[in-house]
Amino acid sequence: MEIPRNIYKNILLDLKKKMVFIVGPRQVGKTWLSKQILKEYKNPIYLNYDNSDHREIIKKQSWLPDVDLIIFDEIHKMSKWKNYLKGVYDTKIESTHILVTGSARMDAFKKVGDSLAGRFYMYHLLPFTLAEIKEVKFDNSIKFLLERGGFPEPLLSPNQKEADRWRSLYTESLLGQDVLEFQDIDKVNAIRQVYQLLKGKIGSPLSYSSLARDIGVSSATVKKYIGILEALYIIFIIKPYTHKISRSILKEPKIYFFDYGLINDLGARFENFVALALYKHTILKGDLSGKPYSLGFLKTKEKKEVDFTLADDQNNLIEIIEAKVSDSSASKTLEYFAKKYKVKGTQVVYNLNTEHISSKGVYIKNAEKYLENLEE
């Protein structure tokens, strides 16, 4: 079975205007998607920098002049790859399109001034969510996706055992060779410790100093290691919502995993499941609009907390959301914040018989229906 990706048509349109970059976790389907796009062209060429023959073609730019699509895979491993792409793009003929795929490190330079500015569109390819598979007929889609995770291989594996085997090998690969590209081998064990500790802190505000004490390193080192896990698309971080963006950076963030299938506790896994769907929703809205939509959470000094906030590009609250496995009674804290900020409050429930609205106006929604209708 093959599941089409929602961003496919958008990428085809944008390739006619600029270069297109596809970034995201390893084994999320970037290469598969690029090869589907390749089928839309008459004379395409696919070049993977890890292949020695392809590497020579890349260095010498020795593709044929009638090539209408060049796909560069893993090009970020090439020295001065950004200047290389700039040169290729600025000297190509108009009918030649360029697609670039790679890891999160390609994502980082978008945030600072760079020679490629104005020459590309960025797309994030993230794990499957209910909104993307709603046209595919899985038996009890939310339960199936929650068990398997959203990466293509475990999702489409013939059974749970094969999905678990994939997860074991995938995690080992990420925490092995990929981490070594960032750090010396003697740091890898410490990063593994951080990874293991984070698995038990899903949805909890993160204390760098507490993690540092547990591992025996400085808070700055822990923050650096978490940054590596984020750069490798192992985790994503959400920050507290505040009207003053600069203040939110100083507060403790929360972390979630792109592969929530590795989390054993159902409550934590479900919260992570909802977090990924909302995160993907905001990221893709940003990719398509060029505006920074954001996912956050609410917490006061009095410890009142709501799991998630959605905000627009002006940092105005759109909706606040609480994730529950089976509680159909509206969260008092959710009601409090919905009233305080005069914003829509939604409680997303995994096991729910009847959708309704609480006496104070909070929507109690079935998780599968709510999440599959998120815009992507």
Do 158 and 29 lie in a common domain? no
What pLDDT does 104 receive?
Answer: 60
What pLDDT does 112 receive?
Answer: 42
Do 260 and 361 lie in a common domain? yes
Q: Per the domain annotation, does 290 fall within a domain?
A: yes
Q: What is the pLDDT of residues 280-326, one digit of tens each?
A: 999 999 999 888 899 999 988 788 899 999 999 898 999 999 999 99
Q: Per the domain annotation, does 1 fall within a domain?
A: no
Do 229 and 347 lie in a common domain? yes
Q: Per the domain annotation, does 179 fall within a domain?
A: yes
Do 87 and 136 lie in a common domain? no
Do 117 and 145 lie in a common domain? no
Within 8 A by CB and 6+ apart from 117, the residues are: none
Write out the chain's pLDDT in tens, 376 residues: 788 899 999 999 999 999 999 999 999 999 999 999 999 999 999 999 999 999 999 999 999 999 999 999 989 889 899 999 999 999 999 999 999 998 766 655 555 446 788 899 999 999 999 999 988 877 778 999 999 999 999 999 999 999 999 998 988 887 776 676 665 656 778 888 899 999 999 998 899 999 999 988 899 989 988 988 898 889 999 999 987 655 555 578 999 999 999 999 999 999 999 999 999 999 999 999 888 899 999 988 788 899 999 999 898 999 999 999 998 899 999 999 999 999 999 999 999 989 999 999 999 999 999 999 997 6
Q: Which of 86, 105, 124 represents a domain boundary (last residue)? A: 124
What pLDDT does 76 receive?
Answer: 86
Do 38 and 114 lie in a common domain? yes
CATH of the domain at 78: 3.40.50.300
The one-letter amino acid code at 158 reads P
End-to-end CA distance of the chain: 21
Q: Per the domain annotation, does 3 fall within a domain?
A: no
Q: Give me the DSSP letters along 279-313.
A: HHHHHHHHHHHSS--EEEEEE-TT--EEEEEEE-T
Question: How many domains is the chain partitioned into structurally?
Answer: 2
Do 146 and 114 lie in a common domain? no
Do 20 and 148 lie in a common domain? no
Q: Per the domain annotation, does 143 fall within a domain?
A: yes
Within 8 A by CB and 6+ apart from 180, the residues are: 188
Do 99 and 135 lie in a common domain? no
The parent domain of residue 218 ranges over 130-372
What pLDDT does 113 receive?
Answer: 46
Q: Which of 124, 142, 165 represents a domain boundary (last residue)? A: 124
Q: Per the domain annotation, does 191 fall within a domain?
A: yes
Q: Which of 124, 141, 164 represents a domain boundary (last residue)? A: 124
Contact 311, 344 (CB under 8 A): no
The one-letter amino acid code at 162 reads E
Do 93 and 140 lie in a common domain? no
Please state, in angstroms and rounded to a whole number, the distance separating the CA atoms of residues 190 and 86: 38
| Helical packing angle, 141-148 and 266-289, nearest 10° | 100
Q: Per the domain annotation, does 62 fall within a domain?
A: yes
Do 214 and 88 lie in a common domain? no
Q: Per the domain annotation, does 2 fall within a domain?
A: no
Question: What is the token pair recorded at 14?
Answer: 């944008």
Do 166 and 81 lie in a common domain? no
In the block, which residue shows the tokens 């068990």? 147
